[in-house]
Structure 1
Amino acid sequence: MWISFVQSLSGVEKKPDQVTIPQLLKAGFPPHLAAAWKEKSKQAPEKFLEWKKSLKGKEAALVSKVWKEQEITLYDNKQKFAGNKTLPKNKSSLSKEDNTKTKEGFDSPSEIFFGMSYQNLDVRYLPRKEKNHSSVFLGGRGKGQIWILEKRDEEFSYGVNLTYQTFRFTSGNRYKPIPHFYFAKDPNFYSQLERTGSPLPQPITLSNFFGYRLLVDTKEYELGIYHANAFSSYPGLYFVSPNKSYSGVWSGGDNKSSLYINDAWNSKDWGTHRIQSESIYNKQESVGFVYLKSESLESKFILDATVYRDSPLLYGMVSPDEVRPQIPQNLGYTRMSFKHLVGSEFLSSIEGHRYENGRSGFFPFFLSEWGNLIYRYREYNETGNYHWNEIGRAAFYEWRKEKAVVSFGFESRENGGQWEGKLAIPFGTSNLLEFSGIFREGQPKTRAWFENWTYATDFNINLNDRAEIIKLKWVSPFISLNVSYSEKENDPNPILFINFQLLQKIDL
């Protein structure tokens, strides 16, 4: 059938808008990619080609394959574009690789992937089974289907994501149609390699989803039913918006729900704005966060604001190297700046009977193309334990260029001080090396404002009273390494956390 489909179109050039959605779906396109093709085909040829070049991984391979097989042309000069090359109309000019056929004819791109992960949490008071965790996995995907077999510690698990026309079925311990991080999270594992086109989303506990994918005006919506005992003992409903910008789950038996938001808006007059949020609503206790970021034109004015509720209920859902709270904490933080040079910060936290808040201002006293020297004045207030107020005065060297950051300095307080530093180096578009640390001296009675590694959001800040924290992160499409070391004051039991993940893909 697939051979006849290709042969029936052989030798006939087409414009992108002449390819129908059923033809794209038959060629292995997921509905959202087919919808994007149709939407972009209505725009100028240059826009369509720009969109084609922006695709990555499997989506790029699917578009390129249909492009060649359908003999797509953008212009009326009887030439067609394939990838970055301009090819003549004669099919014999195609490379042998382009004309390769499998036994079933022209097949959709497929791949086998495999890898492993290992983590060690070296803490004296934890039992051995909670310190070390390891996994190995093998999987494959093609024609819009994906499967995986895993061994997590001593347990075997599986995961499948199957699509047929407008229906989706996911089952097992890896795949789900919703992008939530907290939902049914496996407490002993997490994926640092989750990104667009990756076959490794966050590990989950046993869950099953069955849904219907609805295409409305070139946009794909999905809704259906699910059951995940780790989230709720009752089955429920789920919903996913186009591009997975919004999704939610709801279980009626215990009225438990979870909401996910990841959306952005661009305006010629008002700049770029983004919101990220994830929350779990429960009668027992609700947790979650909201993060907002706004940037003016040319990123001159920048606003970051985050509010979250952290509690023991949440832990086991996130990476175990974080200090687990004993009681819930509500925290809010806002930072406003002009080109990261002049600005102010505000923080407020309620944790049981402990209240902390503060504010700060910073400005440069030396500017150069090689970096800037920044002065920061910050007020710290604590009530509940010490009823203490103190002033921090800090000087920093800082250099920023796009996503690259170099920053280090020292803050002096009445009862001590702290060294702070951060280094972020992106390599290309998909590799990041990041180092951050804080070293506290003396006996500061208020905690440090420390930017954590993030999980479901691009930014997170927390209060930390550890005397020393060192964190190293390296992430690429195929390898991930996280190392964290921290010490408490007057405590002989430091915490060392190491997590290594490897992913290898082989195209077939």
Structure 2
Amino acid sequence: MWISLVQTLNAVEKTPDQVSVPQLLQAGFPPHLAATWKTKAKLSPEKFLEWKRSLKGKEANLVSRVWKEQEINLYTSKQRFHGNDSPNSKSFKYAKDIKSKDIPTKSLEGSDSLYELFLGMSYQNLDVRYLPRKEKNHSSLFIGGRGKGQIWILEKRDEDLSYGANLTSQQFRFTSGSRYKPIPHFYFAKDPNFYSQLERTDSPLPQPILQSHFFGYRFLKEGKEYEWGIYHANAFSVYPGIYFVSPNKSYSAVWSAGENKSSFYINDNWNSKDWGNHRVQSESILNQKESVGFFYLKSESPESKYFLDATVYRDSPLLYGVVSPSEVRPEIPQILGYTRGSFKHFLGFEYLNSLEGHRKESGRSGFFPFFLSEWGNLLYRYREYNESGNYQWNEIGRAAFYEWRKEKAVVSFGFEARENGGQWEGKLAIPIDNGNLLEFSAIFREGQPKTRAWFENWTYATDFNINLTDRAEIIKLKWVSPFISLNVSYSEKENDPNPILFINFQLLQKIDF
């Protein structure tokens, strides 16, 4: 393993300062970004890495693409193995981080690294009247460690003890227990009482699962790692099956032949100078009895003028409590599709269609500005609501609101007037440096609107989601960082004294040796 790592690192000798300005401009860099690259390249490797990780959106995509095309490494082989850069030094750890995260050759789990101990806890409370106490409160404690490609964890979830192990070699992987699996699926064998908001790149806390076992073969093809193998997870299927994982875990699939049940996962993006930036996310469980899942597409033109968001999902009681237990659980399956297109986020359209049993709802809207500024826009929205299932009803909504959008940052609030009432809407998403994210969304309905509201919020699996709600009030707050997360949700129905309050707190502490 060590010889293979040395050979791989020695094959990459180009450092950031060896990339010329003409090369950067030819790759699509705007002049200011090319100048910043050359300035940061003169600093220490650690400073250049910090700058690279701070980039967002289009600039981050450009830098990552040049990084891969030019096969850049922060350290030459001579720097890595002489002077202060010994295999156990902090600088050498930075070199391995870059190699594993920014050049997709070998996974981080397969490389040698310093040993890391991690520990933490989670607590959640679902406050609903008449719900049994054992379903209201859930808590967990855990401790684990990882190093040299091996990860383990011991947990206490409520009153149950569990374990997780992820053991890897150059060619084989074995995972067992209730935490680790080679596939990134959120739905697969999910523990209905727990979920992790601290799962992210290089996190030791993937989604909690019910007991599962995987054994796979890992192989490199054209410098990219693939994996396939066999598994058994009784929570997914009583029969064993096979699985496959693509490089960077962008695509993966599981299949159980005995039950003819499968699950697919996609999380990929494409960046083109001529065609713009596109991202697709999808996850599904396909079964003869009932299939569920979602598909999400986000597209942006090369000049960042035109934007498109499109999502379709099939929601079902089968998923609960797979998704966040703070959500209102459907009694019957629902199929919903939503599309939003815009020019610079201030001129655009929306379309929604939903089928839930005999209840059919659809709508369309257009919005345009009546005041524009670099600090945000004042927009007017005209929206039609239609219900054609249980009864025939058409309703018109006219809204005025303030909105500012940039990359993943969103600030928006306003009021929509309808024939039988109205609603206040608000949403906020603020990405903060060092991996922190603050999200807020709320809706307050007045009067007695005949159709449900389109409520934009954020879920674990996708960057964006929208659903229908008839609740009089919903407030959601989420703060996530690399070591702590807080999720609070409050909702209530009109003329109902039984509101729903959901609180989830998670903590992760890592210690390097």
TM-score (norm 2): 0.83
Which residue in 2 is equivalent to 1:190? 195
- Equivalent position amino acid for 2:49 in 1: K
426, 438, 451: which one pairs with 2:443? 438
Asked if the contact 2:85–2:91 (Cα under 8 Å) also holds between the matched residues in 1, the reply is no
| Residues 245-256 of structure 1 aligned to structure 2 (within 5 Å) | 245-256=250-261
2:155 is equivalent to residue 146 of structure 1: no
Structure with the greater alpha carbon radius of gyration: 1
Listed one character per residue, the Cα deviations across residues 437-458 of structure 1 (whole Å, up to 9, x for unaligned) are: 0000000010010123212121
Question: Does the C-alpha gap of structure 1 residues 71 and 495 become closer, same or farther in structure 2, counting only changes over 3 Å?
Answer: closer
2:301 is equivalent to residue 296 of structure 1: yes
Which residue in 2 is equivalent to 1:263? 268
Question: Does the C-alpha gap of structure 1 residues 122 and 72 become closer, same or farther in structure 2, counting only changes over 3 Å?
Answer: closer
Question: Does the C-alpha gap of structure 1 residues 490 and 212 become closer, same or farther in structure 2, counting only changes over 3 Å?
Answer: same
Listed one character per residue, the Cα deviations across residues 210-263 of structure 1 (whole Å, up to 9, x for unaligned) are: 000011110111000000000000000000011111100000111000000111
Listed one character per residue, the Cα deviations across residues 38-85 of structure 1 (whole Å, up to 9, x for unaligned) are: 8865898746989993798xxxxxxxxxxxxx99537xxxxx657xxx
Question: Does the C-alpha gap of structure 1 residues 143 and 463 become closer, same or farther in structure 2, counting only changes over 3 Å?
Answer: same
Shift of 1:421: 0.5
2:49 is equivalent to residue 53 of structure 1: yes
Counterpart-to-counterpart distance in 2, 1:493 and 1:418: 21
Listed one character per residue, the Cα deviations across residues 12-34 of structure 1 (whole Å, up to 9, x for unaligned) are: xxxxxxxxx86244x7xxxxxx9
Asked if the contact 2:15–2:75 (Cα under 8 Å) also holds between the matched residues in 1, the reply is no
2:334 is equivalent to residue 334 of structure 1: no
73, 76, 89: which one pairs with 1:73? 76
Question: Does the C-alpha gap of structure 1 residues 96 and 487 become closer, same or farther in structure 2, counting only changes over 3 Å?
Answer: closer
Counterpart-to-counterpart distance in 2, 1:40 and 1:465: 57
Listed one character per residue, the Cα deviations across residues 83-110 of structure 1 (whole Å, up to 9, x for unaligned) are: xxxxxx973798996699xxxxxx8311
Asked if the contact 1:38–1:218 (Cα under 8 Å) also holds between the matched residues in 2, the reply is no
466, 472, 482: which one pairs with 1:461? 466
Counterpart-to-counterpart distance in 1, 2:379 and 2:314: 31
- Equivalent position amino acid for 2:511 in 1: I
Listed one character per residue, the Cα deviations across residues 324-349 of structure 1 (whole Å, up to 9, x for unaligned) are: 00000001000000111100000000
Counterpart-to-counterpart distance in 2, 1:94 and 1:310: 52
SS in structure 2 at match of 1:53: helix
Listed one character per residue, the Cα deviations across residues 173-195 of structure 1 (whole Å, up to 9, x for unaligned) are: 00000000000000000000000
Shift of 1:125: 2.4
Counterpart-to-counterpart distance in 2, 1:314 and 1:343: 33
Which residue in 1 is equivalent to 2:98? none
452, 476, 483: which one pairs with 1:478? 483
235, 239, 244: which one pairs with 1:239? 244
Asked if the contact 1:386–1:445 (Cα under 8 Å) also holds between the matched residues in 2, the reply is no
TM-score (norm 1): 0.83
Asked if the contact 2:347–2:369 (Cα under 8 Å) also holds between the matched residues in 1, the reply is yes
Question: Does the C-alpha gap of structure 1 residues 330 and 348 become closer, same or farther in structure 2, counting only changes over 3 Å?
Answer: same
Counterpart-to-counterpart distance in 2, 1:285 and 1:93: 56
Shift of 1:399: 2.1
Counterpart-to-counterpart distance in 2, 1:241 and 1:233: 25
Asked if the contact 2:13–2:75 (Cα under 8 Å) also holds between the matched residues in 1, the reply is no
- Equivalent position amino acid for 2:76 in 1: T
For these two proteins, the number of residue pairs brought into alignment is 450
Which residue in 1 is equivalent to 2:511? 506
Question: Does the C-alpha gap of structure 1 residues 94 and 131 become closer, same or farther in structure 2, counting only changes over 3 Å?
Answer: closer
Asked if the contact 1:168–1:210 (Cα under 8 Å) also holds between the matched residues in 2, the reply is yes
SS in structure 2 at match of 1:197: coil
Counterpart-to-counterpart distance in 1, 2:196 and 2:353: 31
164, 177, 183: which one pairs with 1:172? 177
Which residue in 2 is equivalent to 1:91? 83
280, 283, 287: which one pairs with 1:278? 283
128, 131, 135: which one pairs with 1:123? 128
Counterpart-to-counterpart distance in 2, 1:486 and 1:90: 60
Question: Does the C-alpha gap of structure 1 residues 232 and 378 become closer, same or farther in structure 2, counting only changes over 3 Å?
Answer: same
Asked if the contact 1:354–1:384 (Cα under 8 Å) also holds between the matched residues in 2, the reply is yes
Counterpart-to-counterpart distance in 1, 2:85 and 2:434: 33
| Residues 263-412 of structure 1 aligned to structure 2 (within 5 Å) | 263-412=268-417
Counterpart-to-counterpart distance in 2, 1:322 and 1:215: 41
Asked if the contact 1:440–1:468 (Cα under 8 Å) also holds between the matched residues in 2, the reply is yes
For structure 1, which runs of at least 5 residues remain unmatched after alignment?
Answer: 1-20, 28-33, 57-69, 75-79, 83-88, 101-106
Asked if the contact 1:303–1:335 (Cα under 8 Å) also holds between the matched residues in 2, the reply is yes
Counterpart-to-counterpart distance in 2, 1:472 and 1:38: 47
Question: Does the C-alpha gap of structure 1 residues 404 and 153 become closer, same or farther in structure 2, counting only changes over 3 Å?
Answer: same
Listed one character per residue, the Cα deviations across residues 415-473 of structure 1 (whole Å, up to 9, x for unaligned) are: 00000001222221400111110000000010010123212121111001100000110
RMSD of aligned Cα (Å): 2.7
Counterpart-to-counterpart distance in 2, 1:39 and 1:72: 11
For structure 2, which runs of at least 5 residues remain unmatched after alignment?
Answer: 20-36, 54-72, 93-111
Which residue in 1 is equivalent to 2:64? none
